[in-house]
Amino acid sequence: MVNLKNLANTLTLARIGLIPFILVTFFINHPTPRLIAACLFGLACVTDFLDGFVARTFNQETRFGQILDPVADKLLVASTLLMLVGFDRISKFSFLAAVIILCREILVSGLREYLADMNVTLKVSSLAKIKTAVQMLALMVLVYFDPEHSHVTIQILGELLLWIAAGITLYSGWTYLQTSLDAASQTPPV
């Protein structure tokens, strides 16, 4: 049973709950909803920081939270990237950065699941935390960007940050893969 009095888990669930509101704003062609969407996205990013902080500080770490937190991040990132692509809010060239980020997220999720079966935990690296921060900032800027009303430098800044996140994503994904392969090779067969 999930303890809903657990503030850390509630923050994670709130992040998931914000996703539909962010996505709905893509269908309203006006600058105000874009600002609201960027603020909601920023709030979702703050909950990502806070849920881990609260869990560690107040001893609220749960298995449910350990599983749900990265899933909430992936739902937020994947759905936002897909909306940005679908509504032509990023250039065709930056589609590749979006694909890199999504593929890495799927790879790391699979590795975590595989290693969990062997009772091996894949810890979040400092580099992955930096990647998340840059990626979230990029997406917040791109959610705010309005092709009709914003200056093109906002799009350039957002896409530059997205490419930086994609570069870090490639490297951190590679290190996670190496760590996983090392752990798998040291685990005796069942």
Per-residue pLDDT at 1: 47
Separation of first and last alpha carbons in the chain: 30
- Whole-angstrom Cα distance, residue 137 to residue 157? 10
- At residue 85, does pLDDT exceed 90? yes
Residue at 49 is within a domain: yes
Residue at 108 is within a domain: yes
DSSP sequence for 109-171: HHHHHHHHTTT---PPPHHHHHHHHHHHHHHHHHHH--TTTS-HHHHHHHHHHHHHHHHHHHH
Residue at 190 is within a domain: no
Residue at 2 is within a domain: no
Per-residue pLDDT at 11: 95
Residue at 1 is within a domain: no
Average pLDDT estimate for 8-27: 96
- At residue 37, does pLDDT exceed 90? yes
Torsion of CA 98, 99, 102, 105, to 10 degrees: -110
- At residue 141, does pLDDT exceed 70? yes
pTM above the 0.75 mark? yes
Residue at 106 is within a domain: yes
Give the domain CATH number at 151: 1.20.120.1760
Residue at 189 is within a domain: no
**How many CB atoms within 10 Å of residue 2?**
12
Average pLDDT estimate for 44-68: 91
- At residue 149, does pLDDT exceed 70? no
- Give the total number of structural domains in the chain: 1
Average pLDDT estimate for 166-189: 86
62: domain range? 7-184
Residue at 16 is within a domain: yes
